Chains A and B, each alone.
Chain A
């Protein structure tokens, strides 16, 4: 029976996220009410854990660092088949960069117990650094492989897998316990099911704050972040747009003649 930790981030729905913009007057984000969803690659991470659960048996704990409303996404993870959830939520965690996010998650995982596998998505759709998974592995003292696209074998001692590289892949063997970051090629996540949602009612989500973790307040959140955003500038307009108008046939004709004039065809 494997003990697996899966790290989840609640992100603004990527299909709607392009609506978040920088306000040119204030330099801060104009946040519209975009619903939070499970970061898409984290669903692949959870699916990997669920596949191990169904073939070899596993107990899956999902971890997330986020605001209180992120518990909805953790509940979805329980509905998808995770056994329990731990939400790391505290005002002290706010403003964290990748480093202090990883440190906070690692502290939560350490506090929860010993895991055979820690699985993360390669990156989040909003932060998109790819740093959090590997940095968690350092704080937990685990070997890490990123960009995992296939898992071929798993025993209590080791895991055999494929990880993407430029124009190909490397086939690896890693001693357990280990941390993996996974790509979307690894699997096709199953949809939420009605019965899963019913079963999830009996599962628990614990909410832990800074006081629950064995870590100083100075090492988390904004205080613990080595990097900081100093400026946000909306884009300067460099080109003057000319809209091509008319009905479809006219537009196509005009476009072709513009391409001819520019010498590209």
Chain B
């Protein structure tokens, strides 16, 4: 069905403090896309004891909001969420559906896409419309940027990480429709959540850090990684990483910066022993001064920073740390 003018949807995820930032950011983007298309923005959100959600979503830019507010939907359950949302989508025929790249989003979106037999793009770092109104989904790949489209199947689905787009300014004058979704009563769960365990969030959030030191595979081993950590501590910087450092278990995945990790915007960024892969570099939304230390003069990272040092980081960092300590003692 040729549907390039239909509504732009967001599946909005609820957290303890209301709608997650990423969903609000996607609603803002959906608003821009919808305005260009001359279409409405519609949002679906499932949860429990979420009476104020509807108003929050409309203030963010939604025209129509579908809410499930029920103990059954209090906690994300893949089969129930899929059943409710896919039924809704089959009725409402969305044109575009945007989902935050959260753990829930990254499980639910593909289940929905396969159920609806449509396309889904992962971790987009930009979205725009082509001259026919088709959604252009941009992702970093192979040292450059790839554009993906879903020309025929509907809805066109994409997941986007927090921080790619900006938060909307809530407009409390906005009006819209709030509808309640029915919970199917014949539902039998094959997946049961027994317990949810969460840890304390670290104090320097990378997303708000104004100095970041990031390390990658070039650290070579835990000895090298600890030097990078020491540098970050000395500078009072947040410590981030690329995927190889997570794979080596030097650092946890919530410190990974990039397309499927955190998006950051520091004044100072120092990338050590990393090759400047796009999957990581797109995570640096902007930065005033960028520095790279890498032992390969040909490394792609050097075409993306202001200052470069070609050296083995395990040999250079002790020297740098020595100089910094000396400076700090003055």
List residues of chain A with CB under 8 Å of any chain B CB.
15, 18, 20-22, 29, 40, 97-99, 102, 128-131, 133-135, 137-139, 143-147, 160, 164-175, 178, 184, 225-235, 237-244, 248-249, 251-253, 255-256, 258-260, 262, 264-265
Q: Which residues of chain B are near A98, meaning CB under 8 Å?
A: 110, 120, 122
Q: Interface readout for B119-152 with A: 1 if CB under 8 Å, 0 if not?
A: 1111100000000000011000111111111111
A57-B273 Cα distance, complex, nearest whole Å: 44
Question: Smallest distance from the beta carbon of A190 to chain B beta carbons, Å?
Answer: 17
A143-B192 Cα distance, complex, nearest whole Å: 10
Q: Which residues of chain A are near B290, meaning CB under 8 Å?
A: 239
Q: Interface readout for B251-266 with A: 1 if CB under 8 Å, 0 if not?
A: 0001000001000000
A106-B181 Cα distance, complex, nearest whole Å: 32
Would A251 and B113 count as touching, CB distance under 8 A?
no
Would B120 and A99 count as touching, CB distance under 8 A?
yes
Q: Given that A40-B247, A264-B268 are contacting pairs, would A169 and B305 also be in contact in the complex, using a CB cutoff of 8 Å?
A: no
A114-B283 Cα distance, complex, nearest whole Å: 42
A225-B309 Cα distance, complex, nearest whole Å: 44
A214-B277 Cα distance, complex, nearest whole Å: 40
Q: Given that A255-B291, A256-B327, A262-B288 are contacting pairs, would A102 and B114 also be in contact in the complex, using a CB cutoff of 8 Å?
A: yes
Would A255 and B320 count as touching, CB distance under 8 A?
yes
What is the count of residue pairs linking A and B with beta-carbon distances less than 8 angstroms?
233
Would B198 and A130 count as touching, CB distance under 8 A?
no
Would B190 and A229 count as touching, CB distance under 8 A?
no
Would B308 and A143 count as touching, CB distance under 8 A?
no
Q: Which residues of chain A are near B118, meaning CB under 8 Å?
A: 99, 226
Would A255 and B309 count as touching, CB distance under 8 A?
yes
Which are the 9 A-B pairs with shortest beta-carbon distances?
Answer: A226-B119, A138-B114, A168-B198, A227-B119, A135-B114, A129-B122, A226-B153, A131-B110, A231-B147
Q: Which residues of chain B are near A239, meaning CB under 8 Å?
A: 290, 303-306
A252-B327 Cα distance, complex, nearest whole Å: 12
Interface secondary structure of B, over-half rule: mixed
- Interface residue ranges of B33-65 to A (CB < 8 Å): none
Q: Which residues of chain B are near A242, meaning CB under 8 Å?
A: 306-308
Q: Which residues of chain A are near B217, meaning CB under 8 Å?
A: 15
Would B148 and A171 count as touching, CB distance under 8 A?
no
Question: Smallest distance from the beta carbon of B233 to chain A beta carbons, Å?
Answer: 13
Q: Which residues of chain A are near B117, meaning CB under 8 Å?
A: 99, 226
Would A165 and B196 count as touching, CB distance under 8 A?
yes
Q: Which residues of chain A are near B315, meaning CB under 8 Å?
A: 248
- Closest A residue to B147 using CB positions: A231
Would A135 and B327 count as touching, CB distance under 8 A?
no
Q: Which of B2-10, B99-107, B172-180, B221-229 contacts A (4 or more CB under 8 A)?
A: B99-107
Q: Which residues of chain B are near A99, meaning CB under 8 Å?
A: 113-114, 117-120
**Is the CB of B201 closer than 8 A to any CB of chain A?**
yes
Q: Which residues of chain A are near B277, meaning CB under 8 Å?
A: 18
Q: Interface readout for B296-312 with A: 1 if CB under 8 Å, 0 if not?
A: 01001011111111110
Q: Given that A130-B106, A135-B110, A244-B308 are contacting pairs, would A256 and B323 also be in contact in the complex, using a CB cutoff of 8 Å?
A: yes
Would A264 and B267 count as touching, CB distance under 8 A?
yes
**Is the CB of B23 closer than 8 A to any CB of chain A?**
no
Q: Given that A131-B110, A168-B197 are contacting pairs, would A97 and B103 also be in contact in the complex, using a CB cutoff of 8 Å?
A: no
Would A134 and B111 count as touching, CB distance under 8 A?
yes
Q: Which residues of chain B are near A253, meaning CB under 8 Å?
A: 323
Q: Which residues of chain A are near B113, meaning CB under 8 Å?
A: 99, 131, 135
Would A130 and B122 count as touching, CB distance under 8 A?
yes
Q: Given that A134-B110, A256-B324 are contacting pairs, would A264 and B310 also be in contact in the complex, using a CB cutoff of 8 Å?
A: no
Would A262 and B143 count as touching, CB distance under 8 A?
no
Would A147 and B103 count as touching, CB distance under 8 A?
yes
A128-B129 Cα distance, complex, nearest whole Å: 24
Would B103 and A227 count as touching, CB distance under 8 A?
no
A137-B78 Cα distance, complex, nearest whole Å: 12
Q: Which residues of chain B are near A225, meaning CB under 8 Å?
A: 119
Would A128 and B114 count as touching, CB distance under 8 A?
no
- Closest B residue to A240 using CB positions: B306
A138-B297 Cα distance, complex, nearest whole Å: 47
25 pairs, A vs B, C-beta closer than 8 Å: A18-B275, A128-B122, A129-B123, A131-B113, A135-B114, A165-B198, A167-B201, A168-B199, A170-B195, A173-B192, A173-B194, A226-B119, A227-B148, A228-B151, A230-B148, A235-B144, A239-B304, A241-B302, A241-B303, A243-B309, A243-B310, A251-B309, A251-B311, A255-B309, A255-B320
